[in-house]
Amino acid sequence: MSLNKQIIKDRLKETFNGDTQDRIAEKINLSQSTVSKLLTGVQVPTTDQLFDISEKYGVSVDWLLGRTNKKTTETSDKLSYAGAVEDILELKGKGAIDITEAVIPYSEHENHLVIVDPLLQKLLKKGKALQDADTLSLQGWIENRLCVFKGKMILPKEAWKDPDVEQELTQAFDDEQDLLNLYDLTIKVNEEMLKQIEDK
C-alpha cells in the first residue's frame, strides 16, 4: 500500500497548526530542518516519528496516514496524570507559573493553584525536584518513569476518600510503581462510583 504524501503533509500541517517549527522540533525531538521537510512534503515521517507525533499531539497514526477520518486517539480524549504533570512542569519551565511547597497542596497567596489530587501532588513534587536539579534528569524521568501514567485518567476527588485509599496515602512511596499500585487500588475500591461517572 502506497502512502499518500499530500494527505500526510496536509494532516501534519493541521496537527502542528499554531506551533512554530522550532516548537514542533523541540516537542517531538527532531531538528527544525526535518520538521520543515515534513511540512513541505519533501520527507515522509518514519514510523517512530509518526508515533511521537501521535503521542505528543493526541492524533491517531491512522488519521495522519489518511486511513481514517477519526483524528483523535481514545486516550487523548481524557486528561491523564502524565499529561497533566507534563503540562504543569512545562508551564513552570517557561516561567508562567511557580510551584512551591506551599502550592503543593496549599498556598496563602492571592493567586494560587491548589492541587488536591494526592497522586498528582506526589508526581508534581517528584517532577519539580528533578526540574530544579537538572533538565536532563526531568526529561529522562518523563520518558522512562512518568510514562506509566499515560492514559491513566485523572480520578475525581471523591475516589481518594475511601478509608483503604486514605490509609495507603499515609505510606511512603519509593517509586512510580508504588504510585501506580496506589492508582490501581483506588480504581478497584471505587469501581462502582467510577462506572457511574463514565456512564453520565
CATH 1.10.260.40 residue spans of the chain? 5-74
pLDDT in tens, 101-110: 644 555 555 5
Peptide bond into 156 cis (omega under 30): no
22-27 contacts at long range (C-beta below 8 A, 24 or more positions apart): 27/56
- What is the structure's pLDDT at 76? 45
Those residues with Cβ within 8 angstroms of residue 58's Cβ, 6 or more apart along the chain or in another chain: 72, 73, 76
CB 12 within 8 A of CB 38: yes
Number of separate helices (H) and strands (E) present in the chain: 11, 0
Higher pLDDT residue, 106 or 129?
129
Q: Is the pTM of this model over 0.85?
A: no
- What is the structure's pLDDT at 110? 58
49 vs 35, 59, 70, 194, CA distance in Å? Answer: 10, 13, 19, 35
Mean residue pLDDT across the chain: 82
15 vs 18, 19, 136, 156, 169, CA distance in Å? Answer: 9, 9, 27, 30, 39
CATH superfamily of 5-74: lambda repressor-like DNA-binding domains (1.10.260.40)
| Rounded (10°) angle between helices 5-16 and 32-40 | 130
Percent of the chain surpassing pLDDT 90 = 14
pLDDT in tens, 50-71: 888 888 888 888 889 888 888 8
- What is the structure's pLDDT at 114? 74
pLDDT in tens, 70-81: 887 654 435 788
Higher pLDDT residue, 25 or 153?
25
